[in-house]
């Protein structure tokens, strides 16, 4: 069972503060005009490794015992979590092994190796890679660092919300990209501790909607998946994270792929920031008025990452010129 308190997030903030970027919190004049609300962006896209994931990874790895550190860590991921684990391990001086499926893009493999992690390519898909990583963890004694179903990971990701609310404590609503659930659970714990009336809303795409349907059913629901620009949000969730979210998160909404593409291009043109699809889903919801009437409210949206292929983003910008 996952158990994360506000105190755990404060401890995580103290633990990671010297190694992560205190990312900018900026007001979007354009989104504020469009929605008649007061809209702010928390730019985790400017975080080390281009994603919030370094927060949870560093908090988890730095909480391990000396004996655990001596045996190293392992994870399965081809995305931002892998780079977060690799980079955090390099900072702490611990051996990291990352297992990725055969389908992992070369750019992401290069990003993992850049931080000194050992890379193992195994399996036709993520599930096969993860199963192999668990086997290797048993064989080698390495600690498996889960991307989202882990108390220290969630506490680390929660520092995104803590950091924003310490700077601007009067937000009414927080929009959070929802993938595995570590980020939204962590932010919700911090937000509700500071202001129980604040609304925390998760955003997914129709291409990967497990939170949307499982949250409404109160249990894990099988859904269909398809390719998505928000690849960092793509995949299943666990009962542990769902149980945690049910008591904390107010709602989940879905956005269309076309609107994610538009939001990525809009952020580049309007704010001059490179943002990956996963980081743009909150922007997409605001641009499309998917949240209903927000007039007069103070809204924070988490821009969670910037790891998008430059050529892909350039194409989207051209298409939405």
Show the domains of the chain with their CATH numbers: 6-52+151-319 (3.40.50.1100), 54-144 (3.40.50.1100)
Sole residue written with tokens 């005009």: 33
**What is the token pair recorded at 111?**
């990003």
Lowest mean pLDDT among 21-35, 95-109, 144-158, 304-318: 95-109
Is the pLDDT score of 105 beyond 80? no
How far from 219 is each of 57, 154, 210, 280, CA to CA, in Å?
Answer: 27, 20, 10, 27
Per-residue pLDDT at 126: 81
| 183-232 pLDDT tens trace | 999 999 999 999 999 999 999 999 999 999 999 999 999 999 999 999 99
Per-residue pLDDT at 127: 82
- What is the rounded CA–CA span in Å between residue 12 and residue 4? 11
Per-residue pLDDT at 287: 97
| 281-303 pLDDT tens trace | 999 999 999 999 899 999 999 99
Which residues are catalytically annotated? 53, 304
pTM over 0.85: yes
Contact of 145 with 75, CB cutoff 8 Å: yes
- What is the rounded CA–CA span in Å between residue 16 and residue 12? 6
Sheet holding 251-255, edge to edge: 25-27, 38-43, 298-303, 173-177, 199-205, 251-255
């Amino acid at each position: 069972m996952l158990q994360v308190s506000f105190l755990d997030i404060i401890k995580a903030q103290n633990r990671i503060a010297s190694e992560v970027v205190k990312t900018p919190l900026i007001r979007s004049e354009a989104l504020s005009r469009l929605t008649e609300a007061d809209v702010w962006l928390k730019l985790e896209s400017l975080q080390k490794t281009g994603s919030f994931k370094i927060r949870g990874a560093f908090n988890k790895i730095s909480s391990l015992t000396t004996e655990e550190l001596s045996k190293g860590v392992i994870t399965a991921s081809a995305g931002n979590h892998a780079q977060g684990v690799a980079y955090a391990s390099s900072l702490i001086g611990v051996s990291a092994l990352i297992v990725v499926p055969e389908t992992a893009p070369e750019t992401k493999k290069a990003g993992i190796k850049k931080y000194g992690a050992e890379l193992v390519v195994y399996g036709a898909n993520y599930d096969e890679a993860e199963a192999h990583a668990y086997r290797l963890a048993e064989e080698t004694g390495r600690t498996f660092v889960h991307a989202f179903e882990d108390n220290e990971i969630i506490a680390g990701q929660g520092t995104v919300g803590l950091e924003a609310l310490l700077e601007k404590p009067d937000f009414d609503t927080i929009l959070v990209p929802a993938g595995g659930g570590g980020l939204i659970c962590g932010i919700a714990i911090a937000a509700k501790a500071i202001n129980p009336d604040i609304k925390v809303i998760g955003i997914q795409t129709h291409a990967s909607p497990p939170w949307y349907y499982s949250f409404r059913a109160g249990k894990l629901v099988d859904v269909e998946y398809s390719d998505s620009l928000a690849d960092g949000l793509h995949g299943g969730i666990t009962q542990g994270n769902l149980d945690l979210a049910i008591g904390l998160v107010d709602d989940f909404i879905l956005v269309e792929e076309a609107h994610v593409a538009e939001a990525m291009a809009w952020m580049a043109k309007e704010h001059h920031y490179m943002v990956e699809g996963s980081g743009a889903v909150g922007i997409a919801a605001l641009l499309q008025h998917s949240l209903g009437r927000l007039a007069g409210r103070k809204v924070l949206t988490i821009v969670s990452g910037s790891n998008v292929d430059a050529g892909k983003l350039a194409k989207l910008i051209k298409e939405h010129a």
